[in-house]
A and B are shown apart, each in its own frame.
Chain A
């Protein structure tokens, strides 16, 4: 079965600093991978997805992620954090043609 592991349940960064959220996956087939963001008391919003095209995927709000098959990773980055990036972030992998498997989530706080 496919699964994802998010390293670090909490990440704190200074405004303007690099944001790096780590995600490793396990999959017996070529994976489809996703990053979602959740703001307090809201649903999850798709940031970006990897569907076996380009390995560097650009998403909304200045985020991007790189698929590295050799490392089974799909880390999410943003060069310069904004206060508005404070949220919870979830990595997910397609488990089948109708189910995703989600990581436990990483909460990002941004210090002024």
Chain B
């Protein structure tokens, strides 16, 4: 069966520090991968998605970047965190969007 792993579960980082959040999927090949952010009162915001290794699409301009170094690995990064980067980050995967996504358990990031 397919599983998705996302870590860490919580993270507190100072302003200006780097960020690396990792997401891996098991039990499937060539998944579509997604990074979402939930900030208070702003719903689900799609940040990045990837339909293949090295293929990254950015939905909104921001202080973050994403990479997909392996088929089932998706990394969200920042060189210097801002206070506004605080939020709940969710990774998700799909084989085909017509059948929905499977979400990871999320990372609560607090930038102080």
Interfacial residues, chain A to chain B (CB-CB below 8 A): 32, 34, 36, 41-46, 49, 51, 90, 92, 94-100, 102-105
Contacts and interface: CB of A to CB of B under 8 A. Distances in A.
Main secondary structure of the interface of A (DSSP, over half): loop
Contact of A102 (B43, B94, B104, B108): B43
A97 B98 contact: yes
Range class of the B interface residue count: 20 to 34
Contacts, number: 56
Given A32-B98, A43-B90, A51-B98, A99 B104 contact: no
A94 to B, nearest CB: 5
Interface in B32-66: 32, 43-44, 46, 49, 51
Nearest to A43: B103
Contacts of A44: 90, 92, 101, 103
A104 B90 CA distance: 16
B88 A98 contact: no
28 contacts: A32-B98, A32-B100, A34-B100, A41-B88, A41-B106, A41-B108, A42-B105, A42-B106, A43-B6, A43-B106, A44-B90, A44-B92, A44-B101, A44-B103, A49-B100, A51-B99, A90-B44, A92-B100, A95-B97, A98-B32, A98-B96, A99-B46, A99-B49, A99-B97, A100-B101, A102-B43, A103-B43, A104-B43
A33 to B, nearest CB: 10
A90 B46 CA distance: 14
Contact of B49 (A32, A41, A45, A98): A98
Contact of B43 (A49, A51, A105): A105
B100 A102 contact: no
B47 to A, nearest CB: 13
Contact of A97 (B43, B88, B96, B105): B96
Given A51-B99, A98-B32, 7 more contacts: A36-B103, A42-B106, A43-B6, A43-B90, A46-B100, A98-B49, A98-B97
